[in-house]
C-alpha cells in the first residue's frame, strides 16, 4: 500500500483527536510523535513530505508538543540501522586482563578476599599478569576467569 491523501489525512485526524482529547492535552511534559508508515509513497505523499515542516526528518506537521511524520519501512529500517551502528561503535571498549582484574579487586575486594591471588611480578611464566584462584578447604571454589582483550562488534 502506498501512502497517499487518505493515509495522510488519517494520521493528521488521529493526531488532532489525541492532542485535543481532554485526557491528554493537559499533561505537562508529554510530546506526541505520530507516524504513518508503509512500503511506498504516491506522488501526493512525496509532495507532502517535500513541502512539510522538516522534509529531511520526514515531518509534515509540528507543534509545541507534537510532530506528525511520513516514512517508508525502508527509511525506518535504514535510520535505525545507522543508530544501531552508532551505538555499537560508541560502546566498543577494549579492556586488558590486568585492567579487568584491577577493577574487580577494587570494586569487589571484600568478596574476593582469599579468592584471587596475584602472580609474582618476576614470574616469567605468568608475565606478572596471571591471576589464579586460591583453593579453599571447604571444597567450594568460586570460578573467576578473565579473558584477554576483546572488543564488542
Per-residue tens of pLDDT for the chain, all 153 residues: 899 999 999 999 999 999 888 888 777 888 899 999 999 999 999 999 999 999 999 999 999 889 999 999 999 888 888 888 888 788 776 667 888 888 888 888 877 776 655 554 444 454 444 444 433 333 333 333 333 444 444
12, 69 Cβ separation under 8 angstroms = no
Would you state the cell numbers that stand for residue 78, as one nine-digit string? 535504514
Would you state the cell numbers that stand for residue 96, as one nine-digit string? 586488558
User: Which pTM was predicted?
Assistant: 0.54
What is the β-pairing status of strands 131-133 and 116-118? antiparallel
The side-by-side arrangement of strands in the sheet containing 59-63 is 32-38, 66-72, 59-63
Amino acid at each position: 500500500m502506498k501512502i497517499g491523501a487518505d493515509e495522510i489525512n488519517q494520521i493528521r485526524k488521529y493526531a488532532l483527536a489525541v492532542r485535543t482529547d481532554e485526557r491528554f492535552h493537559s499533561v505537562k511534559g508529554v510530546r506526541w510523535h505520530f507516524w504513518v508508515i508503509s512500503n511506498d509513497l504516491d506522488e501526493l505523499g512525496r509532495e507532502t513530505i517535500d513541502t512539510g515542516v522538516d522534509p529531511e526528518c520526514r515531518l509534515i506537521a509540528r507543534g509545541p508538543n507534537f510532530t506528525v511524520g511520513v516514512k517508508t519501512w525502508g527509511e525506518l529500517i535504514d535510520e535505525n540501522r545507522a543508530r544501531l551502528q552508532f551505538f555499537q561503535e560508541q560502546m566498543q571498549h577494549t579492556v586488558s586482563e590486568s585492567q579487568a582484574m584491577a577493577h574487580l579487586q577494587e570494586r569487589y575486594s571484600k568478596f574476593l578476599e582469599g579468592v584471587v591471588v596475584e602472580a609474582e611480578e618476576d614470574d616469567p611464566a605468568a608475565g606478572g599478569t596471571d591471576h589464579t584462584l586460591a583453593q579453599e578447604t571447604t571444597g567450594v571454589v568460586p570460578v573467576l576467569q578473565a579473558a584477554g582483550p576483546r572488543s564488542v562488534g
